[in-house]
A and B are shown apart, each in its own frame.
Chain A
């Protein structure tokens, strides 16, 4: 929605664009193009330090915690430009989730302890929400944290932790009380991934990659000072987390960049037929429309930046679009999708793996079926 930039927006956009043009290394761009978000930690950290030096590490954080203090519009523009330049995603979980969670619910001591190392990227984070028996029905989680003196003792299991093997810290939801309402009795803790009794077992997905894991807790002891917010009232914190995903929820800018890439491939590989072009047009129109819907929800002056249940449609359509674009990219390249054609322009492009990797986006963060339930209840009153 660049056309709706104000003069100030435009100046900011050009500043961001120029910064990426100068500082984003070509090999990193290519890695993001070819591998998506499967970038290794040293490479990501190198880029993170560039952002840190510039003062752009915490794009959604207020200045008092070392963030940029940017407005929602500035964050939106930054994300658009980052995606267009094929820059990597920010370090996961830290900035958009647990950081804000601590700012809102954490004690001064907790903020002091965790936020600075989050900002520098010294400590990586993972989430601990889902369990083998609690996926879409998250509130039925049963991994237990029992108070013993100044500690809580955790027993049970968490599953689908992205980057659990890399992460230094986890923030998660644990059962501290059995109550009649399953939403009652849940508490939020942060804990060290090197805690004794905590075992991380990678899960091999069918694309051959082990980026998610299952975590087993066997009498893992967590100091009571690492409880976030009020004991047993963690469900409201969990719901707050969902509202933080405003900007990333539709990933329109990423889809745009991916579609441009597909268009270039179609041309380079000689797919100039009407059927292909027509499919690309359909996707392009979908993106433009979704972008308009996202813009309208984010910047509606009456909504004040707050998103309601209707925002779930951004995730519904956004995730479907990302998958459709990945699909058409695989179709365009054909049998060599797993390794590109071995020559330009698809050299090193792992389109098949990217496609398989994107199957998760309609499952995580509240599956699309759950998103539809949210809209049915919250918007349509059903």
Chain B
């Protein structure tokens, strides 16, 4: 017996069908060996739009499909398995969350791939935006250094959460600004990260109109926090997809690579290491699914704890799998001839993107201290959720 209030843990048949269709599209039309120089060609992005994948996370009022976190992690994991996830979560689910209210004029072009949008977030702490704003005339001026930029590196639009500058006379609420990358090009600096996908962003006195403040004039703190947590969950889902792909490649490889007259996969020492890889990624994948299923029903503290813990767990699984995948491929794993290294670098970047394990652990300890000295059940126990 189920009621309307029951939380769904499992993916519906429809959700699984969408993922299977996406998987087929990527395998048949966009195999990785043809994309290694440019992982996200514009035509792939348009294919995703046609399939409805881009519109999936946007609310129905904005012309989207109203998908939730479960849809998001399933699609992202699938994209991750093909090394095609990078800009997806940022440019869709996170943008949608940051905007808050439906804004078809803005989101329509994003869903049809006519335009693209990146977001500047500090994943290690949603309350410390890298950017600040000052009132200037009728509008604002935005500054910020080393803010991480997520989404397509060449996105036309950039959403920037910002807090009032400390020196600002009239301190206001946290706001989210929409910048035009081309118009403000001279004041926006970008640098690519190790995997060639994400970018760093520096803003040097970018002037914006009052209308560039999206989601209304009210305090954007809650939206920024929700977007940050969603981004973390998205990266966890991507890491799981990358890990699954690496595991599959490694299993396939040890079944054909022969040494001492037998396949190396026939050695128990090798088999047991592969089982550890499988165990790690299977459990991380279940954790991502579980967190996604709880996401919209959790308190903010609980959601934050879940997001950090889930990403940390996926990072750990991803790192171990990446290292083992290279080791079990032997010298070949280090060559650029194979794509093992592409996955390795992406996983390494994902791990660092929110400050890595040290920052994650401090955030969790902070949550623990905030929620009481004995139990950190504020963000842990299910009993606090209902």
Contacts and interface: CB of A to CB of B under 8 A. Distances in A.
A347 interface: no
B3 interface: yes
A2 B383 CA distance: 8
B382 A285 contact: no
Given A2-B382, A289-B284, A382-B255, A281 B364 contact: yes
B3 A6 contact: yes
Contacts, number: 126
Contacts of A163: none
B365 interface: yes
Contact of B368 (A281, A286, A289): A281
B380 A264 contact: no
Interface string A269-303: 00010100110010011101111110110011100
Nearest to B251: A380
Interface residues of B, number: 48
B282 A382 contact: no
Contacts of B259: none
Given A260-B375, A272-B373, A317-B283, A382 B274 contact: yes
Contacts of B275: 313, 316, 372, 375-376, 379-380
B148 to A, nearest CB: 24
Interface in A307-335: 310, 313, 316-317
A281 B6 CA distance: 28
Contacts of A369: 272
A299 B9 contact: yes
A3 B10 contact: no
A4 B9 contact: yes
A372 B274 CA distance: 9
Contacts of A288: 287, 290, 309, 380
Interface in A1-32: 1-8
Contacts of A284: 309, 376, 380
B241 interface: no
A3 B7 contact: yes
Contact of B286 (A2, A264, A289): A289
Contacts of B7: 3-4
A105 interface: no
Contacts of B323: none
Interface in A339-382: 369, 372-373, 375-376, 379-382
B313 A289 contact: yes
Contact of A267 (B283, B365, B373): B373
A1 B274 contact: no
B167 interface: no
B385 interface: yes
Nearest to B369: A277
Contacts of A286: 313
Interface of A: 1-8, 260, 263-264, 267, 272, 274, 277-278, 281, 284-286, 288-293, 295-296, 299-301, 310, 313, 316-317, 369, 372-373, 375-376, 379-382
Task: Give the top 9 A-B pairs by smallest Cβ distance, nearest first.
Answer: A292-B290, A376-B271, A293-B286, A289-B287, A292-B286, A2-B382, A313-B279, A3-B382, A372-B275
5 contacts: A6-B1, A292-B287, A293-B287, A382-B254, A382-B255
